[in-house]
Amino acid sequence: MTTKAQIRRMIWDKLEREDIAAFPRPCHGRIPNFVGNREATMRLLELEEFQKARCVFCAPDHTLRAARDLVLAQGKVLAAATPHMKSFVELRGRVNTSIRGLIKHGRPLRTPVDLIVQGSVAVDLKGNRLGKGKGYGDREIAYLKERGLARPDVKVVTIVHDAQIVDDLSALMSEDDVPVDYILTPTRCISTSRLTDGKTD
């Protein structure tokens, strides 16, 4: 059976080979940034959960910089973790959302999170996702829920390129792996089978 590591390698290689990967490159070992990131990110505006959210958590990956900027541009509170989960912070207003900006402008997170945005290396249409293999995404979500900063049923969104969507990953998932509810790509907004049995818009 194909392993998680093999799937990650396959996606990283494909993104580099087909010039889908964007800065920083090479994308190996990272949550990859990709060509079309802005188009995929803007699909957040199509989600009712995003429209209604007061506070949105975005992981600190470079590929989610546009999402972090969009959250603040929409007048929402941005929640984020600094690298290696050293702290969880919130930001307001038009401030720099780079890693340095999160550290400089962030204040301890107090506002409940209404929606979570994560990057992925690979994801399937059932919402099973693979991160870069360090477990940060799942642990960030667990942290928020355990401390009452996110509801147990909080919705999770991932922003990826269409080339990062793979066949069924179910056999590789463990109970600690948190699936996603929405997959946003440059061409599609997909509701996963957690909501609609894998139907796509």
Instruction: Determine phi and psi for 29, rounding to 5 degrees.
Output: 80, 0
Contacts with 86 (C-beta within 8 Å, 6 or more apart), sequence order: none
Decide if 185 is inside a domain.
yes
201: pLDDT strictly greater than 90: no
Q: What are the tens digits of pLDDT across the range 75-108? A: 999 999 998 888 999 999 999 999 999 999 999 9
Decide if 201 is inside a domain.
no
Q: What are the tens digits of pLDDT across the range 139-176? A: 999 999 999 999 999 999 999 999 999 999 999 998 88
Helices and strands counted in the chain (H then E): 7, 10
Decide if 57 is inside a domain.
yes
Report the domain count for the chain. Answer: 1
Decide if 26 is inside a domain.
yes
Decide if 162 is inside a domain.
yes
Per-residue pLDDT at 44: 99
Q: Compute the distance between CA of residue 181 and CA of residue 190 in angstroms, rounded to an integer.
A: 8
116: pLDDT strictly greater than 50: yes
Per-residue pLDDT at 194: 58
Mean pLDDT of the chain: 94
Decide if 178 is inside a domain.
yes
Which is higher by pLDDT, 2 or 44?
44
Which is higher by pLDDT, 181 or 83?
181
Decide if 59 is inside a domain.
yes
63: pLDDT strictly greater than 70: yes
Decide if 104 is inside a domain.
yes
45: pLDDT strictly greater than 70: yes
Q: Give the predicted TM-score (pTM) of the model.
A: 0.93
Domain that holds residue 89: 4-196
Give the CATH number, domain containing residue 112: 3.40.50.10420
DSSP string, 32-89: --BTTHHHHHHGGGG-HHHHH-SEEEE---GGGHHHHHHHHHTTPEEEEE-GGGS-EE
